[in-house]
Amino acid sequence: MNNVLVVANFSAGRKQAIKYRKKIQKFLLRKQVYFHFVTIDQLNEVEMDIFDTILAVGGDGTVNKVLPYLVGTNKNLGIIPCGTANLLAAKLGINNISKALKAIDKENVRKIDVMSINDKLSILRCGIGYDADIIGKTPQSLKNKFGYFAYFITGIIFALRFKEREYKMLIDGEQRNINASCIIFANAANMYRNIVSLAHSSTLDDGLMDIFVLKTSNPIIFFFELLCIILKIRKNSNRAEYIRAKDVNIENSWLTCHIDGEKINFKGNIRINILDNAIEVFNK
């Protein structure tokens, strides 16, 4: 680590990134490396070739913004978690700035997978249906005020609006027609920090995505089936299904989804696939 680009989202996590700036500067000065701070909006103006390390100061959305500058390169990613969810950092065992800087200082690096959704990249998950409603429609003002609990508030509101839809998908070459109210495609399946997971056996470097299909439009049954998956009571039923795959194609005319918490509207078919060991990240 010699040349470090620090990409900060100063509106993340109740503006914690602003408070962290001096501590990060002090750490990098001690490391005697060249460093440069930019905001997410300034990324396109940076000469990336001179940097061997990118530090993402923010939440999962900030990490997602720097992915295009990491995939296919030898650059390392360091995460300073201060967003609403920080799910990737939690999966890596990093839940505060002290642990983050310690991991970066040790320079313990591991390779992890990335999901590709058409021309978008995802480190965590892509959701359609109810999952997209919750994450894509939770206002930033609500997240700033209540943190991760904001998603629970939105979830309760949209639980009254369940709708099933037919999805025609090609999953690793097998044609499937699936009626579902929610489908989640996960590279990292942990939720609510690292407290629960939709796939307890999944890892960030297994070369597969975990797909969770919830087929009911009844909100009570929906949450019961989701709870069964989380608690490992049952994986598959006529109301819920768990699939592992490497490549998925979805026939689509117009579909709203979220990618790592960012609302995306897709017009035309969607391809979701795993890029094996696509980036290198500092790990606890």
At residue 188 the predicted structure's pLDDT band, cuts being 50, 70 and 90, is confident
Question: Using an 8 Å Cβ cutoff, are 161 and 129 in contact?
Answer: no
**What number is the average pLDDT over the span 194-216?**
82
pLDDT for the residue numbered 192:
65
This prediction's pTM: 0.83
Which two three-digit tokens encode residue 156?
């309760």
Pick the CATH number of 120-276 from 3.30.470.20, 4.10.640.10, 2.60.200.40, 3.40.50.920: 2.60.200.40
Decide the pairing of beta strands 174-180 and 196-197. Answer: unpaired
pLDDT for the residue numbered 3:
97
pLDDT at 154 over 70: no
pLDDT for the residue numbered 155:
61
Mean of all residue pLDDT scores within the chain = 85
On the question of a common fold for 3-107 and 120-276, the answer reads no
pLDDT for the residue numbered 161:
65
**What number is the average pLDDT over the span 191-216?**
80
Residue spans of the domains in the chain: they are 3-107, 120-276
Contacts 24+ apart (CB under 8 A), 222-225: 222/130, 222/159, 222/162, 222/181, 222/182, 223/159
- The proportion of the chain whose per-residue pLDDT surpasses 70, expressed as a percent, equals 84
The residue that leads in pLDDT, 97 or 158, is 97
**What number is the average pLDDT over the span 93-107?**
91
In the chain, where does DSSP find H-type helix? 16-31, 60-66, 87-91, 97-106, 130-136, 140-146, 149-158, 219-230
Q: Which CATH superfamily is domain 3-107 in?
A: Probable inorganic polyphosphate/atp-NAD kinase; domain 1 (3.40.50.10330)
What one-character DSSP code corresponds to residue 236? -
Q: How far apart are CA 13 and CA 177, in angstroms?
A: 40
Residues 7-38 have pLDDT tens digits of 988 765 556 767 888 899 999 999 999 999 99
Q: Which DSSP string do the residues of 161-187 spell out, in sequence order?
A: G---EEEEEEETTEEEEEEESEEEEES
